Amino acid sequence: MSGLDAGFLPVTKEEMDALGWDALDFLYISGDAYVDHPSFAVSVITRVLTAAGYRVGVISQPDWQSADAFRVLGCPRLGVMIGAGNLDSMVAHYTAAKKPRRQDLYSPGGESGKRPDRAAIVYANRAREAFPGVPIILGGIEASLRRLAHYDYWQDKVRRSVLFDSRADLLVYGMGEQSVVEVADALASGTDISQLKHIRGTCYATGSLSDIQSAYLLLPSYEAVCEDKQKYAEMTRDSFYEQDPLRGKTLVQPHGNRFLVQNPPMPPLAGKALDAVYELPYVRRAHPMYDEKGGVPGLLEVQFSLTSSRGCFGSCNFCSLTFHQGRVVTARSHESILREAELLKDLPGFKGYIHDVGGPTANFRKVACEKQKTDGTCRNKRCLYPGVCKNIQADHSDYRLLLKKLRALPYIKKVFVRSGIRFDYLMADKNDAFFRDLLEHHVSGQLKVAPEHIADSVLSCMGKPSAGVFEAFKNKFYKLNEKLGKKQFLVPYLMSSHPGSTLSEAIALAEYLRREKIKPEQVQDFYPTPGSVSTAMYYTGLDPFTMKPVHIPKGEEKAMQRALLQAFLPENRKLVIKALQKAGREDLIGFGPNCLIPPRPVNTGGQKNDGSKNLRRKSGISENQRRTEKRSRKSQGKGHKSGSGGYHRGR
């Protein structure tokens, strides 16, 4: 079956000819494989443009060594749109330790090396070479989070806005559906792209500020943030405050003798408009051209899942969602989600299980408070940090009803919730009905939640609730399970080496894991990616909101903190012992019940090994746990987990 027969947009000139198209209106260049599913940016934007009446073709993962690969569909009439993919290309390629990843989940067969580093820049420059004079429009997560001057972890330096290095004409940030249609309509009407300086959710470069008619905020220049880390922290703070569609100002950042101008954010899609995006005619599978390689692994996680909401008012410092989707939560209607569930039953491989119903945070289905509808989000306050705001009316009744409707469908066996429950918001709800439903109907043995750490000083740097909130949630979780007659467990996501974490806090977290008898299969090491407040902390050593110094684990200490969370692995013992000695905690080296690690490998009778079998036997580790450890060692370095439709899920 050809792609056209299956319902995909054209990817070859022959397919364009079959449609009777002599030229495209827009060419979309994607860093991901072409998967036509609403969790993939390439699909959403191309489907939205097609629904608006434009002829759109797709070139996925072109050979970037030559401009020829960009010309296979001919020269588009109105413009080239470029998205690096669902992840920043550097995150897709490298672990937090800057080691190459073995797999790219958004490439056919998981094959790595199918896109270049900093794909947005490379693709845009090749497109400029292939199509001189044709408008080039950047979008997607990579461009969105690099729209201002930004710290680049992989080069360990501040880079200028991606708009300058890519030589693109316009940058669309955020989710983009409304902005790209407005851009497309303007270009179709004959407006030159150099005149498009008014569209919300876009950035442009200019030599003069005379065209800005509204109030704007002048950020520290690119040169200033390169030279002065406090200026970088100020830029981060001020840009964070303005990411609101109602009260946000235009941002201006000088770059040499030019200016990067960020128009205010586009209001988030809501109601019927949001429903319409998810009800476009997606094929919901990878393009048939990838069948020989087994498809695209990234689809497996979301193929039988339903997106119910967008936005996150959690605002964790390590998460880039505030800078991309924003803090205003909008939700799809029950009817729209039920119609999408109806489509799932006809998909190959569907067995009656909906894997997830959620968004960046599963249990957010409405704005944090009524004030956000008229005045926007609070400029210098957060909804859930340091505690739940008094104006929040935590209510899960709508989400509970939605899940009840889904599990009542005759072709549905089970509906899971896997995209992340914000437990502090859950605990703020005085009605336990949703909590009980969650445990009774939507968990299969384990519920994954993200306390991230147990030291309040570190949690404060993360913008997360205090450790006591998680402990209260944990106790309630097990009490409710006992009442329901269920034996289910919490699986906590934890993060090592976040700014603010010293060796003392890392050791405290390791002791917590020992007390709770938790042996994490994977550990998330803090990853300084563009666009997050925590990355600004990592680079500057300052909290951007208080300008107070923050301890930054780097180099060997960063590795030590990671190793401490998996102290049971033989390959970590040297680093763990070194960390304990450096922190003056030799009391944790020994065979006692409170110790983290034995002082030496156990003698195995002259056999040449590291004593790991005896260590496991002494600590009572089962054969099943040994297999888990083996998988864990293989998985080390895989690192970053992405959220749906982007990266850095607001956990």
Q: What is the pLDDT of residue 521?
A: 82
Residue 37 one-letter amino acid = H
Q: What is the pLDDT of residue 411?
A: 96
**Stretch 38-44: mean pLDDT:** 97
Nearest to 557, CA basis, from 513, 499, 605 = 499
| Cα angle value 196/198/202 (rounded, 5°) | 80
Q: What is the pLDDT of residue 641?
A: 35
Residue appearing with tokens 């364009």: 16
**Stretch 186-194: mean pLDDT:** 98
What percent of the chain is modeled with pLDDT above 70?
Answer: 92
Residue appearing with tokens 């040499």: 256
**Which tokens hold the place of 39?**
């969790």
First to last CA, the chain: 40
Q: What is the pLDDT of residue 75?
A: 98
Q: What is the pLDDT of residue 620?
A: 37
Q: What is the pLDDT of residue 603?
A: 55
Nearest to 356, CA basis, from 380, 340, 372, 376 = 340
Q: Strand 330-331 relative to strand 309-310: parallel, antiparallel, unpaired? A: antiparallel
Cα separation, 270 vs 278, whole angstroms: 12
Q: What is the pLDDT of residue 523?
A: 84
Among 258-272, 378-392, 422-436, 595-609, name the one with the lowest average pLDDT.
Answer: 595-609
Q: What is the pLDDT of residue 1?
A: 64
Q: What is the pLDDT of residue 322?
A: 86
Give yes or no for a contact between 107 and 61, defined as CB atoms under 8 angstroms apart: yes
Cα separation, 117 vs 183, whole angstroms: 27
Cα separation, 157 vs 381, whole angstroms: 30
Residue 222's pLDDT band (cuts 50, 70, 90): very high
pLDDT surpasses 70 at 609: no
- Backbone φ and ψ of 230, nearest 5°: -65, -35
Tens-digit pLDDT profile for residues 144-169: 999 999 999 999 999 999 999 999 99
DSSP assignment of 415-478 equals E---S---HHHHHH-S--HHHHHHHHHS-BSEEEEEEE-S-HHHHHHHT---HHHHHHHHHHHH
pLDDT surpasses 60 at 236: yes
Tens-digit pLDDT profile for residues 538-592: 999 999 999 999 999 999 999 999 999 999 999 999 999 999 999 999 999 999 9
Half-sphere exposure of 221 (CA within 13 A, CB side): 9
Give yes or no for a contact between 577 and 597, defined as CB atoms under 8 angstroms apart: yes
Q: What is the pLDDT of residue 642?
A: 33
Half-sphere exposure of 627 (CA within 13 A, CB side): 3
Q: What is the pLDDT of residue 321?
A: 87
What percent of the chain is modeled with pLDDT above 90?
Answer: 88
Q: What is the pLDDT of residue 377?
A: 96
**Stretch 415-438: mean pLDDT:** 95
Tens-digit pLDDT profile for residues 111-140: 999 999 999 999 999 999 999 999 999 999
Tens-digit pLDDT profile for residues 170-184: 999 999 999 999 999
Residue 84's pLDDT band (cuts 50, 70, 90): very high
Helix, coil or strand: residue 380: coil
Give yes or no for a contact between 75 and 263, defined as CB atoms under 8 angstroms apart: no
Tens-digit pLDDT profile for residues 271-314: 999 999 999 999 999 999 999 999 999 999 899 999 999 999 99
SS (HEC) of 115-177: CCCCHHHHHHHHHHHHCCCCCEEEEHHHHHHCCCCEEECCCCEEECCHHHHHCCCEEECCCCH
Nearest to 178, CA basis, from 339, 353, 303, 51 = 51
For residue 264, is the peptide bond before it cis, meaning its omega torsion is within 30 degrees of 0? no
Out of 204-213, 414-423, 458-467, the most confident range is: 458-467
Give yes or no for a contact between 600 and 519, defined as CB atoms under 8 angstroms apart: no
Give yes or no for a contact between 399 and 426, defined as CB atoms under 8 angstroms apart: no
Domains of the chain: 3-204 (3.40.50.280), 482-651 (no CATH)
Contacts of residue 317, defined as CB under 8 A and 6 or more positions apart, other chains included, come to 461, 462, 463, 532, 533, 534, 537
Average model confidence (pLDDT) across the chain? 92
**Stretch 201-207: mean pLDDT:** 97
